[in-house]
Amino acid sequence: MPMAGPVRDEQYTAYVAARLPWLQRVAYLLCQDWDRADDLVQVALTRLYVRWNRASSVENLDGYTRTVLVRVFLAEQRTGWWRRVSVREPPEPDPDSDSADHDGDLDLRAALRELAPRQRAAVVLRFYCDLSVEQTAAVLNCSTGTVKSQTSRGLTALRQALLPTMSIGEETA
C-alpha cells in the first residue's frame, strides 16, 4: 500500500538529508565538477522521489540510489549535452578532504577525469563505493566481464597517468 503524502515526504526528506554529502561526493568522482555533480544529484533525487514508494521498500536503499545516480551520469554522457556546456577548469579541492597530499589528490582527479565515462564509473564503484564486480555490473547494467575489462583499462590508464615520467638515460630500479 502506498505511503500517505506527509509521511512519504518526511521519510524521503530524512533520507536525502542524511545521504546528500555521500551522493555529492560520488557524483563529483564521476564527473569531476562540483556544479555538475550537484546537477546530477538533483536529477537522481528527483527520480528517486518519483519512485519513492517502491524505492523506500527495497532492501538496500543506498544501492538503489547509487544506481539511479550512476545511470543518470551515464545517460548524460551519451547525449553530448555535457560536452557543449562543460567548462574545463582545473579540478577544485574537495571541501571535505582530510588528505594532506593536495597535489596528489589533484593529480588523481585529473587522471580520473581523463578516463572514459564507463571506465570512470567502474573504477569509482569498485574502489570508492567498494562494490563487488557483480554489484558493479548490476549498477552499470552490463556483464561482469565488462566490469572487469572496464576496471582493468581504467586502472591501467590511471597508472600511466600517475607514474612519474622518466628522463632519457635514467635507469629503472
Of 52, 111, 117, the C-alpha closest to 79 is 117
Region 1-88: CATH code: 1.10.1740
pLDDT of residue 110: 83
Q: What is the pLDDT of residue 106?
A: 64
Please answer whether residues 40 and 30 qualify as being in contact, where contact means their C-beta atoms are separated by less than 8 angstroms.
yes
Nearest-angstrom CA–CA distance, 173 and 117? 34
Q: Which residue has the higher pLDDT, 170 or 131?
A: 131
In the predicted structure, residue 89 carries a pLDDT above the cut 80: no
Give residue 68's pLDDT. 97
CATH 1.10.1740 maps onto the chain at 1-88
Residue 165's pLDDT is: 52
pLDDT at 173: 47
| Phi, psi of 29, deg, nearest 5 | -60, -30
Kindly tell me if the per-residue pLDDT of 97 is higher than 80: no
pLDDT in tens, 108-142: 788 888 899 999 999 999 999 999 999 999 999 99
The pLDDT of residue 90: 47
Task: Look at domain 101-164 and name its CATH class.
Answer: mainly alpha
Which pLDDT does position 95 carry in this prediction? Answer: 52
Whether the per-residue pLDDT at 102 is higher than 50: the answer is no
pLDDT single digits (tens) 12-71: 999 999 999 999 999 999 998 999 999 999 999 999 999 999 999 999 999 999 999 999
Q: What pLDDT is attached to residue 4?
A: 64
Segments of the chain assigned to CATH 1.10.10.10: 101-164
Distant-in-sequence contacts of 34-37, Cβ < 8 A, 24+ apart: 34/92, 36/82, 36/86
| More confident of the two residues 107 and 11 | 11
Spatial distance between the Cα atoms of 44 and 171, rounded to a whole number of angstroms? 50
Q: Over 70: is that where the pLDDT of 143 sits? A: yes
pTM: 0.76
